Amino acid sequence: MDMNFDLNLLKNKNILITGASNGIGKSLSENLSKYGANVIMLSRNENALDAIYDSLKEKYKTDPCILKCDLENVDDKKSQEIANIISKNYQNLDSVIHNAAILEKMSDIESFDLQTWNKVMSVNLTSAFILSKYLIPLMKSSITPRIIFTTSSVGKKAKAFWGAYSVSKAGVNALSNILNDELESISNIKIFNFDPKATQTNMRALAYPAEDPSTIKNPDQLINYYLWMLSEKSSSSMERYIEFGQEI
């Protein structure tokens, strides 16, 4: 997809990104700031966020924010705390990008331990539910509010050894469909599921250790899809499930 976007496209838009300290999340933090967004970066790695924050302030003069949070343990209290911090620092919230996810292990179901299963579900699915619950009220005054869930092909068609990750992404697909159905007639919040396909990330390296990373795209090559979803350009689209490589 080759689209030209004005560098002021996201000026003064407040966008929360989970898993913002590395991989696709880090790329989004940098690239959305380039287009004027105030990125609210959520991750458990505060040191990494500090470095990104300093870089964004220096390069783009936007108003970023750091939220340290371990999504494995996020609950009602922490979600309300996050919503309160955003309300205190910004007039509203324009978009949420549920990007954070973990794979942990490739294993057959018989060998999959419950502790790892619960951890993957908490980070990949439960956190998206509880954060959406508390953040949606902050989005109601936005002109182009968006919630973008990051999905995967193994969420649509499960495969052997993908275990909890595959099930969590199927759950993310269901959650996004439920939210879309609930909000479509009462809100202008638009819901997208985005499958970035094969991308250079730590998770990809864990899943495909023999793969040469130079043969697949880097996270920066995803940006046009996110810019389209976050902009007015997507407002009239009926597409809800977007894949990298798709014409939109």
- Active-site position among 60, 165, 225, 226: 165
The answer, yes or no, to whether residue 2 has pLDDT greater than 80, is no
CATH for the 14-243 domain, from 3.40.50.720, 3.40.50.300, 3.90.550.40, 3.40.50.2000? 3.40.50.720
Token pair listed for 225: 């899809």
- Residue 1 — very low, low, confident or very high, per pLDDT cuts 50/70/90? low
Say whether 75 sits in a helix, a strand or coil: coil
241 is catalytic: no
Q: Which tens digits make up the pLDDT trace of 71-117?
A: 999 999 999 999 999 999 999 999 999 999 999 999 999 999 999 99
Q: What is the pLDDT of residue 73?
A: 96
Judge whether 41 and 67 are in contact, CB under 8 Å.
Answer: yes
Distance of CA 118 to the CA centre of its chain: 20
Residue 84 phi/psi, 5-degree rounding, is -65, -40
Residue type, 162: W
Distance from C-alpha of 101 to C-alpha of 104, rounded to nearest angstrom: 10
Residue spans per domain, the chain: 14-243
Q: Which tens digits make up the pLDDT trace of 38-57?
A: 999 999 999 999 999 999 99
Say whether 35 sits in a helix, a strand or coil: coil
Nearest to 25 by CA among 36, 11, 39: 39
Judge whether 196 and 150 are in contact, CB under 8 Å.
Answer: yes
Range of weakest confidence among 89-93, 146-150, 190-194, 209-213: 209-213
Half-sphere exposure of residue 226, counting CA atoms within 13 Å on the CB side?
A: 30
